[in-house]
Amino acid sequence: MFDGHGDVGTNVKPGSATFIPATGQYVITGAGYNVWADHDEFQFVWKKMKGDFILYTRTEFLGGWVNYHRKVGWMVRKSLDGNSPHVNAVEHGDGLTSLQFRRTEGAQTEEHKFKLTHANILQLERKGNQYIMRAAIYGEPFQTDTISGIDLGDEVYVGLFVGSHNSDVLETGVFSNVNITVPYNGESDQRTQMTLGSRLELMEIASGHREVILSVPYSIQAPNWTPDGKSLIFNDAKGTIYNFDLATRTPTSVNTGTVTHNNNDHVISFDGRMLGLSNFVKDLGGSIIYTVPITGGTPKQITPKGPSYLHGWSPDGKDLVFCGERNGEFDVYKVAANGGKEIRLTTSPGLDDGPEYTPDGQYIYFNSVRSGLMQIWRMKPDGSGQEQVTNDDFDNWFAHISPDGKWFVYLSFLPTETPAGIHPPYKHVYIRLLPIDGKGTPKVLAYVYGGQGSINTPSWSPDGKRIAFISNTDMSNTDLGGTNNK
């Protein structure tokens, strides 16, 4: 995704840069006295960009180190001159993590040190003349620092860098899950039309490795993994359902008859034979639930009125659970998969949403705002025994249970960005992992720019080793499909 690379500074010991397509990694080797004081020397892999952006990577050093101030990280520079103004998000060889910046050409470099050390997740965001650094040890939430009033001009050099802090020594850094995002131009809220481009990503639960398998300049949403492991089902913003063949990396539209305004609340039955849809019908009050064979066909209407947003199918195939608005209240309801009388399962004031069965059928997990922030809850299939599962400072949505029933992943919004009762697109969100009982410390699996449409629906691979999700970026004027884009 970069335009070029080279050594910044004068008479710098030559470095190198290699991209490994099979893993999506950048391996960068650089020398140089330092990135500090009034000038810099390092190896830089760069791309010229304008406007706002968000830079993300997971990084590590290779081998032992000669100087504990060797550096890896993201850099934004006004020019490729050694004394150029810049901002960088950096990890040092001894673990020091900091936001560094030179305000003007030839000025002394300044530094904001993080309390966190040994960060291997680095993110640097530009909003005009403001730069926001986010850093974490993989699995933990970000720590954040901000610097304002840094004018590098609209067009800048953006990229990854390695410096050895020793003119005679080469050091090597490895950068994984490299991602450059162009964010939504404006403040997104629940009414925001989803117009940004989409990256369909697969993530390995054990390693955290992410692979972009499809990039499109429009909105696709909510990938479901089919039980045979061969395909993903997702929708686009126009309401069409697609089957994405994982072997050929090709999407094919699914015939859903006259039901063509489908949103991102669709579910596959446990046996893989049927697909449940949530389709907008204005005259019936909004989203209406339908079922159709997964290979396509004539849909059968299940709910008589809306809005009704489908989220779960019982393991025995007999029941559907959904979020329905009735008399001004959003609650969890159950209805027979062939249609019939709907049964209200939650009655607490406020939004209850996202119901999903565990594979053994013993519980329905859902998210509820009844305790203040949005949190994950669970109950018995008849609605009894409702209990809170998560209890933290995030707004937690859409628990998806692993095929073995031992874990769940879920989407976490930052309350500083998003009120508790909504799940808008185009926000900084986490996809996190917890044991099925909610005990223990949540692990951040993915640091994502997305939200609405990222992981609304069940998205585990059948073997429980991976999840699928959507991240977003504006692709209208850039070529930023993502690492390992196929």
Whether 142 is covered by a domain: the verdict is yes
Domains in the chain, number: 2
Whether 478 is covered by a domain: the verdict is no
Q: Are residues 261 and 380 in the same domain?
A: yes
Whether 286 is covered by a domain: the verdict is yes
pLDDT at 482: 47
CA-based nearest residue to 392, from 352, 364, 420: 420
pLDDT at 484: 39
User: Which residue bears the tokens 């396509």?
Assistant: 296
Q: Are residues 149 and 202 in the same domain?
A: no
Whether 186 is covered by a domain: the verdict is no
Stretches in the chain below the pLDDT threshold 70: 478-486
Residues spanned by the domain of 301: 197-473
Which residues is 468 bridged to in the sheet? 202
User: 407: domain CATH number?
Assistant: 2.120.10.30
pLDDT at 479: 59
Q: Are residues 327 and 457 in the same domain?
A: yes
Q: Identify the sign of the CA torsion 291, 293, 295, 297.
A: negative
Tens of pLDDT, residue by residue over 260-269, are 999 999 999 9
Q: Are residues 413 and 458 in the same domain?
A: yes
pLDDT at 64: 80
Of 181, 207, 228, the last residue of a domain is 181
pLDDT at 481: 45
Tell me, what DSSP letter sits at residue 237? T
Q: Are residues 149 and 57 in the same domain?
A: yes
User: 137: domain CATH number?
Assistant: 2.60.120.200
Instruction: Please tell me the distance from the alpha carbon of residue 229 to that of residue 391, in angstroms, as a whole number.
Output: 33
Q: Show Cβ contacts of residue 454 under 8 Å, excluding neighbours closer than 6 positions.
A: 221, 222, 411, 429, 431, 448, 469, 470, 471, 472
pLDDT at 335: 98
Instruction: Please tell me the distance from the alpha carbon of residue 208 to that of residue 309, in angstroms, as a whole number.
Output: 31
Q: Are residues 226 and 257 in the same domain?
A: yes
Tens of pLDDT, residue by residue over 327-360, are 999 999 999 999 999 999 999 999 999 999 999 9
Whether 188 is covered by a domain: the verdict is no
pLDDT at 480: 56
pLDDT at 65: 73
Q: Show Cβ contacts of residue 328 under 8 Å, excluding neighbours closer than 6 positions.
A: none
Whether 189 is covered by a domain: the verdict is no
Q: Are residues 158 and 236 in the same domain?
A: no
- What phi and psi values does residue 283 have, to the nearest 5 degrees? -70, -15
